Amino acid sequence: MAPRELRALQSQRLQDVVRLVYDRVPHYRKKLDAAGVGPDDIQDIEDISKLPFTTKEDLRETYPFGMFGVPMEEVVRIHASSGTTGKQTVVGYTRKDIHTWAEVIARTLAAGGTHAADFVQNSYGYGLFTGGLGLHYGAELIGASVIPTSGGQTRRQVQIMQDFGSTVLCCTPSYALVIGEEAREIRVEFAKLPLRVGFLGAEPWSQTMRLEIEAALSIDALDIYGLSEIIGPGVGFECLQKTGLHLNEDHFYPEVINPETGEPVADGELGEVVFTTLTKEALPLLRYRTRDLTRILPEPCPCGRTIRRMERVTGRSDDMLIIRGVNVFPSQIEEVLMRVEGTTPNYLLVVDRKPRGMDELEVQVELSSHMFSDEMVKLEGVSAQIGRELENVLGLRVGVRLVEPKTLERSMGKAKRVVDRRELGK
Amino acid sequence: MSAIQISVFLENKSGRLAEVTQALAKANVNIRALSLAETIDYGVLRLIVNRPQEASEALTSAGFIVTETDVVAAEMPDRPGALAALVEVLTRQRLNIEYCYAFVAKRGDNAVVIFRVDDAQAALSALEGGGAHVLSGAELSGL
């Protein structure tokens, strides 16, 4: 589509979505009225900057379905992000949304050369997480043979890959390395397998890791981007040029803003990417703050696609961590520690990526006098209980380590809470 | 009468034990017995000292996490079978031993075993009823 046509389409769709949320979502009507902007003020895509931002807070306030733009009988699917009840984000889809989702995933997979004769091994988790079912429908739309292995049982994954001749792998980048490692242990050579390409996302990764995965699995490793609030995977995708992620901007309109001021930044400048869903029905969102830091790459891509690209996400404008596809906020950890101990001890989160392995989160907790016991059984009980509660809340197994008081570094005023050793910038 | 044990939380890093012993030396505290239990990440140092109060204060002000526990210190002849006899007495009374450690006293030919049980008072009566000599805090300090 020529840029001028795309712009006309985006302008039309923006008018439609603003009209939709104004008419159907009371929370949005209130927000738009407060901002002094109505559907009639939106004539062109440029007018988007008149609209207020939407944040995770808006979704929390209207939990679980308050931001939905259709009656529940039109909603055919619900997904939710991990987290405590207060923190989980609930998203819905109409039949048309599911079709849009399959469409953008089909584009994603096609950009890596996937076609009807392919065997797509989908090792993203199936369930409330958008990864599994999101990729699934897109791969089916292409007509590929989908193998819904979901996550885990790595040896079986390798077995299936060998026996069925999987050509396409969908999973998180760290799980791709785990599969690679397992295959090496049981002496399966990827160079001799038909596996050709991987669509890897749901967690931040680096160029170094791409090279490692490509060498270990003998594939092209492509980055995919998405967030459940916008649709799930399928918001952005890399083509085989591997030079940034093409954005499906006919459905999700991107802006990059200065996270402090909310002002747009120039193309090529680093900022927070914000998306407006142009066609979503069940959960239409205006200028949703992703907190992901990236930049728009204005140069045309050698692949010929005219939709714009963004650079791979290099960081966050808040303190959220993404570990094995799970969103973790330090505040969730605080709540658990508070509940277990009755007070919030000083703590530190250490995220590490084992060589050729999965991301690991360790919670270091400073011991206080009332937590201490001369009996080892009781001390071990304290860390085990914290570990269990954290796993319940986060849906993620974490290591818990008790440390002496004042061991953890305190910077001026606020304590340093997170040490990320994954070297994502490289 | 039960005795006081000082327990200290120690992270597994070099020099921490030295810091404990230095703090005690500075406070002029004499260690009678000690036992160290450890996991991968940390250890718990249990101490019997001549002046528990001072030891506890010195370690706390040196930034350690410290707790005081009632334990039972029983004297026994330093010969084979002596500990077995004491443990037998506690077992008969269904008293569960969380842990224990022993040392040989300088006085006479006896050894001393420190028992950590849930109910120190019950253990004390059981041991005395079984004919063992249970050391008082003062006796322990004087060893």
Look at residue A343 in the predicted model and tell me its pLDDT. 65
**Candidates A369, A374, A405; nearest CB to B44:** A374
Residues of A in contact with B39 (CB under 8 A): 376, 380
Please give the Cα distance from A161 to A26 (Å, whole number): 49
* Cα B82 from chain centroid (whole Å): 18
Look at residue A416 in the predicted model and tell me its pLDDT. 67
How many CA atoms lie within 13 Å of A325's alpha carbon, on the beta-carbon side? 29
Look at residue A412 in the predicted model and tell me its pLDDT. 41
Average pLDDT over residues A302-329: 88
Tens-place pLDDT, residues B65-79: 999 999 999 998 888
B39 CA: distance to closest CA in chain A (Å): 9
Residue A413 has pLDDT above 60, yes or no: no
Q: Has the ipTM of the complex gone over 0.90?
A: no
The three-point CA angle A396-A399-A404 to 5° equals 140
Tens-place pLDDT, residues B4-60: 999 999 998 888 899 999 999 999 999 999 999 988 889 999 999 999 999 999 999
**Candidates A369, A401, A406; nearest CB to B67:** A369
Please give the Cα distance from A299 to A268 (Å, whole number): 9
State the fold for domain A326-420.
GMP Synthetase; Chain A, domain 3 (3.30.300)
Look at residue A181 in the predicted model and tell me its pLDDT. 86
CATH architecture observed for domain B3-69: 2-Layer Sandwich (3.30)
Residue A273 has pLDDT above 60, yes or no: yes
**Most confident of the ranges A65-79, A176-190, A406-420:** A65-79
Residue A426 has pLDDT above 60, yes or no: no
Please give the Cα distance from A308 to A311 (Å, whole number): 10
Size of interface A-B (CB pairs under 8 A): 49
Spans of all domains in chain B: 3-69, 70-134
Rounded to 10 deg, the angle between the A26-35 and A3-24 helix axes is 110
Look at residue B1 in the predicted model and tell me its pLDDT. 63
Residue B124 has pLDDT above 60, yes or no: yes
> Nearest chain B Cα to A407, which residue?
B11
| Residue A425: band (very low, low, confident or very high) from pLDDT cuts 50, 70, 90 | low
Tokens of A85: 């009840």
Spans of all domains in chain A: 90-318, 326-420
Please give the Cα distance from B5 to B2 (Å, whole number): 10
Partners of A233 in the beta sheet? A226
Q: Does domain B70-134 have CATH number 3.30.70.260?
A: yes
- DSSP tag of A278: S
Q: What pTM was estimated for this model as a whole? A: 0.73
> Nearest chain A Cα to B69, which residue?
A374
Please give the Cα distance from A10 to A99 (Å, whole number): 19
> Nearest chain A Cα to B5, which residue?
A374
Are the C-beta atoms of residues B78 and B110 closer than 8 Å to each other?
yes
Choosing among 1.10.3720.10, 3.40.50.12780, 3.40.50.300, 3.30.70.1140, the CATH entry for A90-318 is 3.40.50.12780
Look at residue A309 in the predicted model and tell me its pLDDT. 97
Q: A52-66, A113-127, A325-339, A399-413: which range is least confident on average? A: A399-413
Q: Does B11 touch chain A (CB under 8 A)?
A: yes
Q: Does B96 touch chain A (CB under 8 A)?
A: no
- 3-class DSSP assignment, residue A43: coil
Please give the Cα distance from A111 to B142 (Å, whole number): 83
Handedness of CA B123, B128, B131, B136 (dihedral sign): positive
b or e along A263-276 (b: 16 or more beta carbons within 10 Å of the residue's beta carbon)? eebeeeeebbbbbb
Q: Of B139 and A24, which is predicted with more confidence? A: A24
Look at residue B24 in the predicted model and tell me its pLDDT. 96
Look at residue A31 in the predicted model and tell me its pLDDT. 97
Residue B29: how many other CB atoms lie within 10 Å: 22
Tens-place pLDDT, residues A139-186: 999 999 999 999 989 999 999 999 999 999 999 988 898 899 889 889
Average pLDDT over residues A346-365: 85
Residue A408 has pLDDT above 70, yes or no: no
Are the C-beta atoms of residues B38 and B80 closer than 8 Å to each other?
no
Average pLDDT of the residues of chain A: 91
Residues of B in contact with A376 (CB under 8 A): 37, 39, 44
Please name which of B143, B140, B142 lies closest in space to residue B1, comparing C-alpha atoms: B140
Please name which of B7, B68, B66 lies closest in space to residue B36, comparing C-alpha atoms: B7
Residues 12-71 of B with CB under 8 A from A: 16, 37, 39, 41-42, 44, 46, 63-67, 69
Look at residue A415 in the predicted model and tell me its pLDDT. 54
Look at residue A414 in the predicted model and tell me its pLDDT. 47
Average pLDDT over residues A350-378: 86
Look at residue A411 in the predicted model and tell me its pLDDT. 43
Please give the Cα distance from B22 to A167 (Å, whole number): 65
Mutate to test the interface with B, among A374, A377, A407 (most CBs of B within 10 A): A374
> Nearest chain A Cα to B45, which residue?
A374
SS (H, E, C) A138-200: HHHHHCCEEECCCCCCHHHHHHHHHHHHCCEEEECHHHHHHHHHHHHHCCCCHHHCCCCEEEE
Look at residue B136 in the predicted model and tell me its pLDDT. 86
Residue A105 has pLDDT above 90, yes or no: yes
Q: Does B5 touch chain A (CB under 8 A)?
A: yes
Please name which of A168, A42, A92, A84 lies closest in space to residue A390, comparing C-alpha atoms: A84
Residues of B in contact with A406 (CB under 8 A): 63
Q: Whats the size of chain B, residue-wise?
A: 143
Tens-place pLDDT, residues A327-347: 888 878 888 887 887 666 778
Average pLDDT over residues A263-282: 96
Rounded to 10 deg, the angle between the A95-110 and A130-142 helix axes is 70
